[in-house]
Structure 1
């Protein structure tokens, strides 16, 4: 490949990597009585605020089987600002092996918010023993 083509290919991949997206981190899993409180840190890198982001989410048990399919309402995600959202589930935290973000069921915002802004290019990570997948 010619040097100019290599440079252009590299710039193209950098542009794709810089596309705005939502990132969600599973920050903590805390046992509260008989329930597990999952804390998520979410941030939108879009130029426009997301008015409401609701994600279809699946919890897997310790055997890897589906334990619960639910909707998590992350509410508003202001552009470039971090938000912490907490959700409580009637399980012991060590009984939850994985959390799957199946996709966004609701993603609202201004007219300039790109289509699929809540799900396209989403970045998922976990600081807990539970894996966060998408």
Structure 2
């Protein structure tokens, strides 16, 4: 009788292991890693570029590691065609960004395609304001799309 109880115990552990492995793998797929930002930096990652009937919808992940909350960081972005021709210049206001938090911001750019090309972060906007901590923050840029995103 003792040999059956050992087999049953081994069977339970094997079944638990077989269930745990796929669940662990699914968890890893469900929770993509959050991009890290260096201390004192603001990381902006162009995470998705989606063509809509009106134009291009851009989704950004932003990680604020500047050491202070940012009230309304805004940046001027320049959109280039794949041929290097300037297509559009616009300002994106990223809204409140608490320190140490990751936030997602989405912007629609009317009349612009999301194909290959380049987005240049031309610089911060609103630097004459009293609370414009983003103006001096180190920027780290990244893109997970076909669009290049740099400064």
Q: TM-score range by the shorter chain?
A: 0.7 to 0.9
Match of 2:22 in 1: none
- The 3 A distance-change label for structure 1 pair 82 and 109 is farther
1:91 and 2:101 correspond: no
Q: How many residues align?
A: 113
Task: State TM-score, norm by structure 2.
Answer: 0.67
1:121 and 2:141 correspond: no
> What's the CA shift for 1:109?
7.8
Match of 2:59 in 1: 39
Higher share in strand: 1
Contact 1:21/1:117, CA 8 A, preserved across alignment: no
Unpaired segments of 5 or more residues in structure 2? 1-36
Higher share in helix: 2
CA RMSD of aligned residues (A): 2.2
Task: State TM-score, norm by structure 1.
Answer: 0.75
Structure with higher Rg: it is 2
**1:36-72 alpha-carbon deviations (Å, 9 max, x no partner):** 1011111110222101100011000121111111111
Higher RCO structure, 1 or 2 (CA under 8 Å, sep 6+): 1
Contact 1:54/1:104, CA 8 A, preserved across alignment: yes
Contact 2:79/2:120, CA 8 A, preserved across alignment: yes
- The 3 A distance-change label for structure 1 pair 118 and 43 is farther
